[in-house]
């Protein structure tokens, strides 16, 4: 794309003094998983980093930013916390088990806090997010030399099977179960054996260790495909779960993206006096909803330095045209 070529070109001119060139006072990186293993439920949907790459990212951020806790972030937004450098709040989404097994030991060693935004439907490995199902199905199809013709009856054509499977939406996720039946994939067996998600006990241990557990919707829909009432229902259901179990119930991170989410949703959501803020994942951008903060996706196949250079270049380019604020209707 022309846009990507322009951003890549402009990124070459970005300097490395990020404490000065970073355009906002806060940096909000978001990850999903860190692992040295080939995770079949993720390898077709997330370019997750290995341990060495993640540690390099964290060390990079530590050089230019001051990592903060959730309470410090809130105090910073309120104007009650004066950091020595621009701040960074480390965030993770989806509540994958590697957060407990791999990420937290690294963060404890480095003295860094993180918050993980979870989907209660998947805790204790009760179910598998529909995109993870798609990844498992693609792995199985790639493993088989002969494709069952019944698969073509479910999909629209014989071309680009991988892309067709990845395009199956939340509202049509039952198609993934049909495909799994044909391929003899047992999602329940996968959940029981691999345990891809955090358990309830692990969530409590993480809370005791001082890490944050917060809201990412009930079961990870794309919000711009939901009606307003559906958006509010899945958000409230998750909020209630967090509050009942003494997790963080004052923040919410949109699953996938907040693109296309209407102002009315935010108006209704923030009637809840406990809700402090929400998070999108559109990179370095401002938002017409003051309490909605945009995070920087870190799983692009690039290191933190290059990601930030490209984000800064894009922000500055859009600033010229007064287009670096997301407007809600």
DSSP 236-297: HHHHHHHHHTTS--SEEE-SS--TT--HHHHHHHTTSTT--EEEE-SSS-EESSTTEEE-EE
> Tokens for 43?
């390898």
Same-domain pairing of 101 and 153: no
> Tokens for 120?
């209660």
For the chain (329 residues), the mean pLDDT of every run of 10, in chain order, is 82 82 97 98 98 98 98 98 96 98 98 98 98 98 88 87 96 97 97 98 98 98 97 98 98 97 98 97 97 98 97 95 94
First-to-last alpha carbon distance for the chain, in angstroms, is 28
C-beta atoms surrounding 259 within 10 Å: 13
Instruction: Supply the CATH number for residue 206's domain.
Output: 3.20.20.370
Same-domain pairing of 149 and 103: no
Same-domain pairing of 140 and 242: no
> Which residues, 6 or more positions from 298, have their beta carbon under 8 angstroms from its beta carbon?
29, 30, 31, 49, 57, 304, 307
Same-domain pairing of 171 and 251: no
Same-domain pairing of 115 and 176: no
Same-domain pairing of 169 and 116: no
> Model's pTM, two decimal places?
0.96
Query: What is residue 91's predicted lDDT score, i.e. its pLDDT?
Result: 99
Asked if 247 and 214 count as a contact pair (C-beta separation under 8 A), the reply is yes
Query: What is residue 162's predicted lDDT score, i.e. its pLDDT?
Result: 95
Query: What is residue 19's predicted lDDT score, i.e. its pLDDT?
Result: 84
Look at residues 147, 163, 191 and tell me which one is the last residue of a structural domain.
191
What whole-number distance in Å separates Cα of residue 317 and Cα of residue 68? 29
Q: Where are the alpha helices (H) located in the chain, listed in sequence order?
A: 2-11, 18-21, 51-64, 70-78, 98, 104-110, 130-143, 150-154, 161-166, 174-183, 187-194, 200-208, 228-244, 263-269, 304-320
Same-domain pairing of 22 and 141: no
Look at residues 155, 172, 191 and tell me which one is the last residue of a structural domain.
191
Query: What is residue 174's predicted lDDT score, i.e. its pLDDT?
Result: 97
Query: What is residue 253's predicted lDDT score, i.e. its pLDDT?
Result: 98
Domain count, the chain: 2
Same-domain pairing of 185 and 206: no
**Enclosing domain of residue 50:** 2-126+199-326
What whole-number distance in Å separates Cα of residue 201 and Cα of residue 2? 48
* Sign of the CA dihedral with 298 first, then 300, 303, and 309 last: negative
Same-domain pairing of 187 and 303: no
Same-domain pairing of 89 and 205: yes
> Tokens for 147?
């494709």
Same-domain pairing of 186 and 260: no
């Amino acid at each position: 794309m022309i846009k990507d070529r322009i951003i890549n070109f402009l990124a070459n001119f970005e300097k490395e003094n990020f404490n000065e060139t970073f355009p906002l006072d806060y940096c909000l990186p978001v990850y999903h998983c860190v692992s040295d293993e080939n995770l079949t439920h993720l390898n077709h949907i997330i370019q997750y980093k290995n341990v060495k790459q993640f540690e390099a990212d964290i060390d990079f951020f530590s050089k230019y930013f001051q990592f903060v806790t959730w309470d410090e972030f809130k105090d910073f937004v309120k104007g009650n916390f004066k950091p020595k450098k621009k701040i960074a709040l480390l965030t993770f989404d989806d509540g994958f088990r590697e957060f407990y097994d791999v990420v937290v030991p690294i963060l404890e060693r480095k003295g860094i806090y993180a918050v993980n935004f979870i989907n209660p439907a998947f805790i204790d490995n009760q179910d598998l997010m529909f995109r993870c199902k798609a990844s498992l199905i693609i792995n199985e199809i790639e493993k088989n030399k002969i494709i069952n013709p019944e698969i073509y009856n479910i999909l629209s054509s014989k071309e680009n099977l991988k892309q067709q499977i990845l395009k199956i939406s939340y509202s049509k996720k039952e198609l993934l179960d049909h495909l799994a039946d044909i391929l003899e994939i047992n999602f329940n067996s996968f959940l029981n054996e691999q345990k891809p998600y955090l358990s309830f006990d692990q969530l409590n241990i993480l809370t005791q260790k001082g890490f944050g557990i917060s809201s990412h919707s009930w079961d990870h829909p794309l919000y711009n495909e939901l009606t307003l009432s559906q958006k509010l229902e899945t958000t409230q259901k998750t909020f209630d779960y967090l509050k009942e179990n003494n997790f963080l119930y004052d923040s919410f991170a949109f699953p996938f993206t907040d693109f296309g989410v209407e102002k009315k949703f935010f108006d209704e959501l923030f009637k809840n006096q406990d809700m402090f803020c929400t998070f999108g994942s559109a990179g370095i951008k401002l938002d017409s909803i003051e309490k909605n903060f945009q995070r920087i996706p870190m799983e692009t196949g690039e290191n933190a330095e290059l990601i930030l250079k490209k984000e800064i270049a894009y922000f500055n380019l859009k600033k010229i045209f007064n287009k670096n604020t997301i407007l809600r209707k």
